[in-house]
Amino acid sequence: MGRSIWPTLSKRLNKGVSRSTSHPFEANLARPRLELLEDRTLLTVSFLPTVNYSLGTRQVEVAVGDFNADGKTDLVTANDIYGSNNVSILLGNGDGTFQTAVNYGADGGPYGVAVGDFNADGKADLAVANEQSANVSILLGNGDGTFGAATQFSVGANPHRLVVGDFNADGKTDLAVGNANSNNVSILLSNGDGTFQTAPTVSAGGSPISVEAGDLNGDGKTDLAVGNNYGVGPGILLGNGDGTFQVAVLYPAGVWPTEVALKDFNADGKTDLAVGDALSNNVSVLLGNGDGTFQPAGAFDAGEIHYAVEAGDFNGDGKTDLAVGNSNITTISVLLGNGNGTFQSPVSFAAGSGPYSVAVGDFNADGKSDLAVANVGSNFLSILLNDTTPPVLTPQQQIVIIETQVNALVSANVLSAGNGNSLTAKLNAAINSFNRGNNNAGINQLKAFINQLNALKKAGSLPNAIAQSLIEGAEDAIALAGI
């Protein structure tokens, strides 16, 4: 017996786990989901025909947020100085369509945009990197989809992309800005009221045109990964937890690195790195060791020259895929992940001229990952709604994945061998019961598995987030049994 439960699974999975954790597994452990089993058909990915929305010209980045607090996903684009030199807001209707764009001024040459709450009022604000004026504009949100006038904070020369994070563990939303011409990253520490302290800089080891934040070594402190252009390779800056960072460590990757994306591509609970490339047809993937270092890059065909790269699960199999913008043509490519750090051949979908940035979100509330594409050569934003057929799981397939993750936790010394053996014994007993058609017995074994996890959680023998992820996986296996 099997049925599709993608919307339920993906909504829980997309909630993620807080970065303010003390163990690397907590930041990356995905809900137990369908894996590549020998007896199943390879899943594909598909999107509805592309729909375009007119807005500011020469869009160079797109980001998602909820700007009017209605629970629907909205969009913002940065439109550079050679175009309309502003930012555009598209409020979502919740059905995959968007309202007419409203434009707001920033400063000279918006090139990157990030969403965060910079004044702790619970409303989404905007941060815009202005490449020509060497500053960041802050537009405080009113909570109704509108924004106040921009205020500026100085950063380095030719800022491109920026990312939000809490870099000094004070609970306030800070910013890191990649400055392409000054070869460094500006760190804007927040005062919590929408203003920022004077920005110190840290060397990026090259020309950073993109920056992402995450805990790369499992110490609970926020680190940075930067995409250094001019063939230098991505840089890793480990955070000290006080707003300062260690010296950048560079990794060879591709010919002309561009954007970077952080995600777990091989389901080992460690953060990996994907890097776009402006002078090759490849995406580079560097698997993380969990201590802030990375393995040598592997290259995967992405179809065409590209700047943009984003990670998400686009076919609902629980594995991390990649979406890249083919910036010299009119398509984006999706590379389905195999769950072991490798990727399948790219599948292309129509966008506009010069897809330069890709954002992932659920625009029609169906639990699937949709795409928004900023087109630097067009005056419209492209929306691709995901219509991939959900996978059908059996209870046994779900349990196999839970058991795999239990074993991984034991190998990583997060879970003791004794507790791991006890948990897997219950899972194996459940599989045997389902194989014999005795669903009641299988469900009882899964309930015993859940009870043991709750006991481990209560005793402090297993981190809460990890235990809860496994519990929810077991609950899904029970749901799949149809009782």
Task: Give the confidence band of 8 by pLDDT, cuts at 50, 70, 90.
Answer: very low
Predicted structure pTM score:
0.79
Q: Are 355 and 308 in contact (CB under 8 A)?
A: yes
pLDDT at 416: 93
The model's pLDDT over 81-111, given as tens digits with 9 standing for 90+, comes to 888 999 999 999 999 999 999 999 999 999 9
The model's pLDDT over 170-188, given as tens digits with 9 standing for 90+, comes to 999 999 999 999 999 999 9
pLDDT at 34: 36
The model's pLDDT over 252-286, given as tens digits with 9 standing for 90+, comes to 998 888 899 999 998 888 999 999 988 888 899 99
The model's pLDDT over 361-396, given as tens digits with 9 standing for 90+, comes to 999 999 999 999 999 988 899 999 999 986 677 899
The model's pLDDT over 27-52, given as tens digits with 9 standing for 90+, comes to 344 433 333 333 333 468 999 999 99
pLDDT of 348 above 70: yes
pLDDT at 134: 96
pLDDT at 280: 81
pLDDT at 268: 85
Q: DSSP letter at 391?
A: P
pLDDT at 30: 41
Task: Give the confidence band of 483 by pLDDT, cuts at 50, 70, 90.
Answer: low
| 344 vs 10 pLDDT, higher one | 344
pLDDT of 347 above 90: yes
The model's pLDDT over 139-164, given as tens digits with 9 standing for 90+, comes to 999 999 999 999 999 999 999 999 99
Q: Tell me which residue of 355, 349, 331 sits closest to 387, measured CA to CA.
A: 349
Owner of token pair 């004794």: 418
Distances from the Cα of 241 to the Cα of 165, 246, 314, angstroms: 11, 10, 34
pLDDT of 207 above 80: yes
**Angle formed at CA 298 by CA 284 and CA 349, multiple of 5 degrees:** 50
Task: Give the confidence band of 24 by pLDDT, cuts at 50, 70, 90.
Answer: very low
pLDDT of 214 above 60: yes
pLDDT of 6 above 70: no
Q: Please give the full DSSP string across 329-348, using - where no structure is assigned.
A: TTEEEEE-B-SSS-BPPPEE
Q: Please give the full DSSP string across 262-279, using - where no structure is assigned.
A: EE-SSSSSS-EEEEEESS
pLDDT of 10 above 70: no
pLDDT of 451 above 60: yes
Q: 464: which 2 tokens?
A: 């809460």
- Per the prediction, the chain carries an average pLDDT of 88
Q: What is the mean pLDDT of residues 222-247?
A: 93
The model's pLDDT over 279-337, given as tens digits with 9 standing for 90+, comes to 888 899 999 999 999 999 999 988 776 779 999 999 988 889 999 998 778 899 999 99
